[in-house]
Amino acid sequence: EVQLVESGGGLIQPGGSLRLSCAASGFTVSNKYMSWVRQAPGRGLEWVSVIYSGYNTHYADSVKGRFTISRDTSKNTVYLQMNSLRAEDTAVYYCARVIAARLAFDIWGQGTMVTVSS
Amino acid sequence: QSALTQPASVSGSPGQSITISCTGTSSDVGGYNYVSWYQHHPGNAPKFLIYEVSNRPSGVSNRFSGSKSGNTASLTISGLQAEDEADYYCSSYTSRSTYVFGTGTKVTVL
């Protein structure tokens, strides 16, 4: 079964760091485009980051310079390293697979909650 | 990158058809046919409904259809059912090789 499972969320103080993980099963992340999308409480979906082939990565302006997306093919896992966290980063973070030829998000995880608060 | 503009809410009676608009710019919706749509029941993972403006993935009901004219894409739900009550989001690829989502539309079945 094709599946994505996120982990690593929690309560973190402003200015802190957190690393989210997205474990994939049923397919290999090494040859897929993978993305992170978040939803703040009471708000809509917001695209955060994508990793294309190789190390080609892109970020939303709101997280550029603070977040880093990466993948470990040996663990079949995608990561989101989040530094200098702010209250406005509080959200459910979803991992999603991107269909390369369609540039659409076809598989989504259940999400992991990140709360940035003192 | 500003979010694509969607109506905050749309409602309809069972069996009716409703349409949700998604307005962007020539740098996203108007410039590419990579517009997709998602259904989101709060607490669940979003569900993939439409890709490349008007194509349905395998398993998605043909009651869902998409279209685009200029900078505005649309999702139509025909034969509205109680289970269609959810939040709906459009998304587009952009000229910066990034993505942008719509502001989201809450669909209510009366």
Distance from CA of B13 to the nearest CA of A (A): 25
Contacts of A40 in chain B (CB under 8 A): none
Decide: B92 and B100 in contact? Cβ < 8 Å. yes
What pLDDT shows up at residue B54?
A: 98
Asked if A105 and B48 come within 8 Å (Cβ–Cβ), the reply is: yes
Q: What is the pLDDT of residue B43?
A: 87
Residue B13, pLDDT above cutoff 90: yes
Res. B1: pLDDT tops 90: no
Q: What is the pLDDT of residue A17?
A: 98
Maximum CA extent, chain A: 43
Q: Annotate chain A with three-state secondary structure.
A: CCEEEEECCEEECCCCCEEEEEEEECCCHHHCEEEEEEECCCCCEEEEEEECCCCCEEECCCCCCCEEEEEECCCCEEEEEECCCCHHHCEEEEEEEEECCCCEEEEECCCEEEEECC
The 3-state DSSP class for residue B68 equals strand
Q: Check CB contact of A35 with chain B, cutoff 8 Å.
A: yes
Query: What's the rounded mean pLDDT across residues A50-54?
Result: 90
**Nearest one of B22, B53, B3, B50 to A60, comparing CA atoms:** B3
Q: Does A69 touch chain B (CB under 8 A)?
A: no
Interface membership of B91 toward A (CB under 8 Å): yes
- The stretch B88-104 carries a mean pLDDT of 97
Chain A residue with the nearest C-alpha to that of B104: A44
Task: Report the gap between the CA of B89 and the closest CA in chain A (Å).
Answer: 8
Give the pLDDT score at B42: 87
**How many other CB atoms sit within 10 Å of the CB of residue A41?**
9
- State residue B33's pLDDT score: 97
